Amino acid sequence: FACPSAPGGANIAAGAVVCVESEIRGDVTIGPRTVVHPKARIIAEAGPIIIGEGNLIEEQALIINSYPENIMPDTEGVEPKTMTIGINNVFEVGCVSQALKIGDNNVIESKADLGKNVILTSGCIVGACCQVNTCEVIPENTVIYGSNCMRRVQTERPQPQTLQLDFLMKILPNYHHMKKTVKGTSTPVRN
């Protein structure tokens, strides 16, 4: 999906299912087989966002590449940093992610909050309502759970949600209008 992205526009690969009610602002690239639910928000303010394939971004999830707090948006000389999201990740309902680098097969559960300085590797699960805003790289297969954000390591990574993705890719176009994809034929819009 490495195609030149038009600045200021969303670049949605063929095979991705992105509902029209979702809000995508800025320079966002979405890979194939990714499902973006209505009311999800992907905002690329301070730099582009590249989302891989097979991701599931549920309602009211917020993926935002924002400016660091002490820098005004108009400052010159600030390099736009790219936010990269790998494959097979799940962003559950209501989560907020500002992490600049997310690997593969992660699950960010409902209402979790990832700060700007966290880097998720692969197979991590950030539990519901857990706020992770430390400046660190979370090792692989870590589970963060509980009100105190306890951690443990699990022995196997979470399974990719292929069944769910297939189901959604069939059902969502029946009830929502889709955003147009870039390459190939656009997904037919049904009433």
Partner 1 sequence: MASLLQPDRVLYLVHGEKKIRSSLSTLYFCRYCSELRSLECVSHEVDSHYCPSCLENMPSAEAKLKKNRCANCFDCPCCMHTLSTRATNIPAPLPDDPSKTAMKKAYYLACGFCRWTSRDVGMADKSVASGGWQEPDNPHTQRINKLIEYYQQLAQREKLERDRKKLARRRPYMPLAFSQHTIHVVEKYGLGTRLQRQRPGAPITSLAGLSLKEGEDQKEINIEPAQALDEVEPLPEDYYTRPINLPEVTSLRQRLLQPDFQPAGASQLHPKHKHLLIKRSLRCRKCEHNLMLYYFSVRIMSIPNLRFQKECQVLLTLTNPVESITHVTLVGCEEGDPEDINSTAKVMVPTKELVLAGKDAAADYDELAEPQDFQDDPDVVAFRKSNKIGFFIKVVPQREEDGDVTVSFKIRHDFRNLAAPIRPSEEDDAPTEAIWLTHHVELSLGPLVA
Q: CB-wise, 27 or 104, nearer to partner 1?
A: 104
Among 6, 23, 133, 154, binds partner 1 (CB under 8 A): 154
CA distance 103 to 13: 19
**# chain residues binding partner 1, by CB under 8 A:** 14
Among 74, 76, 136, 156, binds partner 1 (CB under 8 A): 156
**What does the chain come to in residues?**
191
Closest C-alpha to 176, from 55, 35, 28:
35
125 belongs to the binding site for partner 1 (CB under 8 A): yes
DSSP character for 78? Answer: P
Backbone φ/ψ region at 147: left (φ over 0), alpha (ψ -120 to 50), beta? alpha
Q: In what order do the strands lie in the sheet with 56-57?
A: 17-18, 35-36, 56-57, 90-91, 107-108, 125-126, 142-145, 150-153
Closest C-alpha to 161, from 169, 153, 172:
169
Piece of 76-84, 89-97, 144-152, 166-174 that binds partner 1 (CB under 8 A): 144-152
164 belongs to the binding site for partner 1 (CB under 8 A): no
151 belongs to the binding site for partner 1 (CB under 8 A): yes
> Tokens in use for 182?
């870039």
In angstroms, give the least distance from the CB of 163 to partner 1. Answer: 12
Among 153, 166, 186, 190, binds partner 1 (CB under 8 A): 153
Site string (72-111) toward partner 1, x via CB under 8 A: ----------------------------------------
In angstroms, give the least distance from the CB of 153 to partner 1. Answer: 4
CB of 79 closer than 8 Å to CB of 100: no
> Tokens in use for 51?
């989302």
Q: CB-wise, 24 or 143, nearer to partner 1?
A: 143
155 belongs to the binding site for partner 1 (CB under 8 A): yes
The residues that touch partner 1, with contacts defined as CB under 8 A, are 125, 127, 142-143, 145-146, 150-156, 158
